[in-house]
């Protein structure tokens, strides 16, 4: 498809975008400024190896048309024989090719034109008009190519991308395959801000004043330009400039020009998880009155420090890092990035009380960091899962020697302006910690980070906590030590690692299936008990949702949190993991194909442990009782309660008190053993004799109807917006049927399409790309994406024997 960039619609869009967003002046200058074009539409795709796609004239009639981002693995069927193995999600990988034809305006012939890829998994190679641009093996890194020398201005051009994810296994978790992040086309003048060409720091921060330093790298490819003016303005959240600086520069034939600008702000609004106040710096380059370039840099003003005795401080106030680790997949959407899906996840975590994210174990999408800035999460930005020593056959160790310097540098350069990032992690459970090569390699990596950013500490996630055995620690160059698991040793760290700042970089690995309960709940178990140990699991491949089962290297959630909570020197912890993720289905073999570690299941439904953290990590009143109340007559049921902001909880069954209980010592929950009888279980929390909260669980009758609940009321008709619709199976009285597994079929019309279905069950082999899904323990999920039509969306859910339900979703203006 040809794209006419100079049509009227484009210039209307450009004028509005650049005047409102970038603050440009007259239209004539808008036409000459930087243009950033969404380049996701109108791609062709075909699985298999198709080198003929390099040629513009190739017949693509049997190729599929699609819009990026795209993950072809998530579209496949689960199969144990896939070379990705269940550890990689038991989904297909292989090779795929993408091609796109596009027209470049004739009057761009004096511009620089770049293509920017946020991430391609894996081994991407790119050609423009048959000319080879390069390869990037690392599937999580962002990169850019200069198209200018090879473009045909005023004519049709073609770009081809080969993605080779066939060497398997190359990961310990699901990766996805394809151009799974966003792509942009960027056009500049011949004097422009370089790719990732700004660096903002805040060397002095207080409530009264802040000093802001901005470094800019300008590229000069103009033949006859002598003098330019650089104007940078700090702009607040209301898009009002609060401080502006400008400089006149003599270019004198220089190819690279370094500019430094300094600002002082009075009474700055500081950034924190509670108040994520954001500014931006808008930079404009002028030749006389002609606007040459515009560039925006995010700015958040904060100061932080780690302390060997007291943990972590932000803006002078002590705080614990309440963190989770997150893999990059988005459940039923696979690896294909969507900012609305990420935002939903972060919103659920925020409500739990999470204030920190570890990007396990790779550089994240730019959208995640945009959201952590805006929503208020402290980020540990992690580069690698392996160095030179492999964990699986075809992982990054094969690329280490040639690519690690470039990949690490690119991560730092891309991400260092995000205020939410407060740590750089150079690796996870790296095997070089066990031999002397780890010393020199750690020194090299830390030096590389420090060359690009000295404002943040460098850390790593270690497993060996005996100093004499850990060569990465012995390098002596780490600013903060991260330790994975082994919570029982935390108390000894001040003696073992004298003067060091420490945190729990990964913890717990508790195992749970939402809505499934095995008793007795006070028996702690390890599944498996050792690396190859046998255990008595469940035939249906579930794990009890009481907090009493973990992997052998881990602990219960309560065990580790109690230690981190009481030890002041522990800066905080990152729970493994915030959400279930595809792949690594410990403790079970296939057909299990996704993890059991999450506090929240793959569909985004919280497990009960979510409320323990909410009771500990938030100030909001919490009272959560479980399990459900559908059992066999006379069965002895363990009833747990998580609560806060109260002295006691009283439990009632059908109006009869079963006693009052309170947490004792460092308890994090209370419990009762209750002989089951159908009816109503009720809990009441009280503070000083006054009721704080009441919660009820009612015995459900047979499934009778469907309830649909969207996570928003309206979507934008932009082809990108999502709405996540929770499907509940209820009895006639609207009570959730906690064991319902009805097959629910979906019909959709209007301005949306179904892009994923899920139910959170880790061993379901139902496809994610479908118009139906079985409920699991009473719930399933359907994900709808707008399809550009400006029409209300109608979703109908039906199931044999149940009353159907319809949900209408409006289109936002």
CA distance linking residue 264 with residue 173, whole number of Å: 46
Q: Report yes or no: 59 and 46 within 8 Å, Cβ to Cβ.
A: no
pTM to 2 decimal places:
0.95
Pairing state between β 279-287 and 227-235: antiparallel
Is 506 catalytic? The answer is yes
CA-derived radius of gyration, the chain: 28
Active-site hit among 87, 125, 382, 429: 429
Beta bridge partners of 317: 314
Active-site hit among 87, 125, 367, 506: 506
| C-alpha dihedral sign at 575, 580, 583, 589 | positive
CA distance linking residue 654 with residue 640, whole number of Å: 17
DSSP-assigned letter for residue 455: S
Residues sharing a CB contact under 8 Å with residue 155, sequence separation 6 or more, in sequence order: 103, 104
Question: What is the per-residue pLDDT for 224?
Answer: 77
Joined together, the tokens standing for residue 730 give: 């209820």
Q: Report yes or no: 629 and 678 within 8 Å, Cβ to Cβ.
A: yes
Question: What is the per-residue pLDDT for 31?
Answer: 60
**Residue 699 CA: distances (Å) to CA of 624, 633, 679, 704, 737:** 17, 12, 5, 14, 8
Joined together, the tokens standing for residue 336 give: 């294909």
DSSP-assigned letter for residue 316: T
DSSP-assigned letter for residue 747: E
Q: E-assigned strands of 150-240?
A: 156-165, 183-188, 191-205, 209-220, 227-235
> In the block, which residue shows the tokens 């204030």?
355
CA distance linking residue 473 with residue 367, whole number of Å: 33
3-class SS at 16? helix
Angle, in degrees to the nearest 10, between helices 609-617 and 557-566 = 10
Is 429 catalytic? The answer is yes
Instruction: Render the burial of 169-185: b for 16+ CB within 10 Å, e for the rest.
Output: bbbbbbbbbbbbbbbbb
The predicted-structure confidence for 173-193, as pLDDT tens digits, reads as follows 999 999 999 999 999 999 999
Question: What is the per-residue pLDDT for 600?
Answer: 99
CB neighbourhood size of 471 (10 A): 20
| C-alpha dihedral sign at 418, 423, 429, 431 | positive
Nearest Cα residue to 777 out of 592, 577, 624, 601 = 601
> In the block, which residue shows the tokens 């004799």?
689
Burial environment of residue 795 by CB neighbours within 10 A (0 to 12, 13 to 18, 19 or more):
buried
Residues sharing a CB contact under 8 Å with residue 47, sequence separation 6 or more, in sequence order: 72, 94, 95, 96
Nearest Cα residue to 512 out of 476, 557, 468 = 557
Question: What is the per-residue pLDDT for 32?
Answer: 65
Question: What is the per-residue pLDDT for 3?
Answer: 36
Q: Report yes or no: 793 and 710 within 8 Å, Cβ to Cβ.
A: no
Question: What is the per-residue pLDDT for 528?
Answer: 96
All residue ranges of the chain with pLDDT < 70 are 1-32
The predicted-structure confidence for 4-48, as pLDDT tens digits, reads as follows 333 333 333 333 333 333 333 333 334 669 999 999 999 999 999
| C-alpha dihedral sign at 728, 550, 581, 353 | positive
Q: Report yes or no: 458 and 417 within 8 Å, Cβ to Cβ.
A: no
Question: What is the per-residue pLDDT for 27?
Answer: 32
Q: Report yes or no: 504 and 573 within 8 Å, Cβ to Cβ.
A: yes
Continuous H helices in 590-734: 609-617
Q: Report yes or no: 337 and 785 within 8 Å, Cβ to Cβ.
A: no
């Amino acid at each position: 498809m040809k794209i006419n960039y100079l049509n009227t619609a484009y210039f209307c869009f450009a004028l509005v975008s650049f005047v409102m967003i970038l603050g440009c002046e007259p239209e004539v200058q808008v036409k000459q400024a930087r243009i950033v074009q969404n380049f996701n539409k109108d791609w062709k795709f075909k699985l298999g190896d198709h080198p003929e796609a390099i040629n513009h004239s190739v017949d693509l009639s049997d190729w599929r048309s699609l819009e990026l981002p795209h993950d072809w693995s998530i579209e496949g069927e689960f199969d144990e024989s896939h070379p990705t193995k269940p550890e990689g999600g038991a989904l297909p990988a292989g090779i795929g090719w993408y091609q796109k034809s596009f027209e470049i305006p004739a009057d761009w012939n004096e511009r620089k034109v770049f293509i920017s890829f946020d991430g391609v998994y894996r081994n991407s190679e790119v050609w423009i008009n048959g000319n080879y641009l390069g390869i990037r093996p690392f599937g999580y890194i962002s990169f850019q190519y200069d198209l200018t020398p090879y473009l045909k201005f005023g004519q049709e051009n073609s770009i081809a991308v080969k993605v080779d994810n066939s060497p398997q296994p190359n990961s310990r978790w699901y990766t996805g395959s394809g151009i799974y992040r966003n792509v942009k086309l960027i056009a500049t003048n011949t004097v422009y801000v370089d790719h990732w060409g700004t660096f903002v720091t805040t060397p002095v921060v207080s409530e009264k004043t802040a000093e802001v330093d901005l470094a800019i790298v300008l590229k000069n490819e103009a033949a006859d330009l002598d003098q330019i003016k650089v104007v940078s303005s700090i702009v607040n959240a209301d898009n009002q400039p609060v401080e502006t600086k400008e400089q006149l520069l003599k270019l004198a034939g220089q190819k690279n020009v370094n500019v430094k600008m300094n600002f002082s702000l009075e009474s700055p609004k500081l950034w924190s998880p509670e108040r994520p106040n954001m500014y931006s710096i808008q930079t404009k380059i002028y030749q006389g009155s002609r606007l040459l370039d515009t560039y925006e840099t995010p700015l958040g003003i904060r100061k932080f420090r780690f302390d060997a005795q007291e943990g972590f401080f932000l803006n002078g106030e002590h705080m614990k890092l309440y963190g989770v680790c997150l893999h990059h997949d988005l459940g039923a959407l696979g690896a294909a990035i969507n900012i609305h899906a990420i935002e939903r996840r972060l919103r659920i975590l925020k409500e739990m009380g999470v204030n920190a994210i570890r990007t396990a174990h790779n550089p994240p999408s730019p959208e995640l960091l945009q959201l952590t800035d805006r929503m208020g999460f402290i980020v540990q930005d992690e580069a690698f899962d392996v160095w030179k020593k492999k964990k699986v056959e075809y992982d990054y160790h094969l690329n280490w020697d040639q690519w690690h310097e470039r990949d690490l540098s690119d991560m730092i350069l891309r991400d260092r302006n995000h205020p939410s990032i407060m740590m750089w992690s150079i690796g996870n459970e790296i095997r070089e910690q066990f031999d002397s090569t780890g010393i020199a390699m750690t020194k090299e990596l830390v030096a590389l980070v420090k060359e690009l950013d000295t404002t943040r500490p460098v850390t790593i996630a270690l497993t060996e906590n005996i100093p004499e055995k850990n060569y990465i620690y012995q390098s002596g160059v780490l600013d903060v030590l991260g330790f994975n698991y082994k919570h029982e040793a935390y108390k000894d760290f001040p003696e073992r690692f004298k003067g060091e700042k420490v945190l729990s970089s990964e913890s717990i690995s508790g195992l749970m299936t939402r809505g499934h309960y095995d008793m007795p709940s006070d028996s702690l178990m390890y599944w498996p008990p050792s690396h190859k140990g046998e255990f008595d699991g469940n035939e249906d491949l579930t794990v009890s949702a009481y907090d009493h089962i973990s992997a052998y290297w881990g602990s219960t959630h309560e065990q580790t949190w109690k230690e981190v909570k009481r030890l002041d020197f522990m800066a905080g912890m990152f729970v493994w993991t915030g959400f279930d993720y595809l792949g690594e289905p410990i403790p079970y073999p296939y057909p299990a194909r996704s993890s059991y570690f999450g506090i929240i299941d793959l569909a985004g439904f919280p497990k009960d442990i979510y409320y323990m953290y909410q009771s500990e990590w938030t100030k909001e009143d919490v009272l959560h009782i479980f399990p459900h109340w559908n059992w066999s007559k006379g069965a002895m049921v363990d009833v747990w309660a998580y609560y806060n902001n109260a002295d006691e909880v009283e439990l009632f069954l059908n109006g009869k008190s079963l006693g009052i209980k309170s947490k004792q010592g460092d308890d994090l929950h209370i419990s009762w053993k209750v002989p089951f009888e159908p009816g109503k279980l009720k809990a009441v929390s009280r503070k000083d004799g006054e009721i704080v909260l009441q919660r009820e669980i009612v015995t459900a009758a047979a499934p009778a109807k469907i309830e649909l609940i969207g996570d928003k009321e309206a979507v934008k008709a932009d082809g990108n917006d999502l709405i996540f619709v929770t499907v509940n199976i209820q009895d006639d009285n609207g009570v959730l049927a906690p064991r319902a597994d009805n097959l629910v079929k979906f019909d959709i019309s209007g301005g949306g399409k179904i892009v994923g279905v899920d139910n959170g069950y880790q061993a379901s082999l139902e496809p994610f790309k479908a118009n139906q899904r079985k409920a699991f323990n009473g719930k399933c999920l359907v994900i709808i994406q707008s399809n550009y039509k400006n029409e209300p969306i109608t979703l109908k859910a039906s199931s044999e024997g149940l009353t159907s339900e319809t949900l209408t979703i409006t289109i936002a203006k």
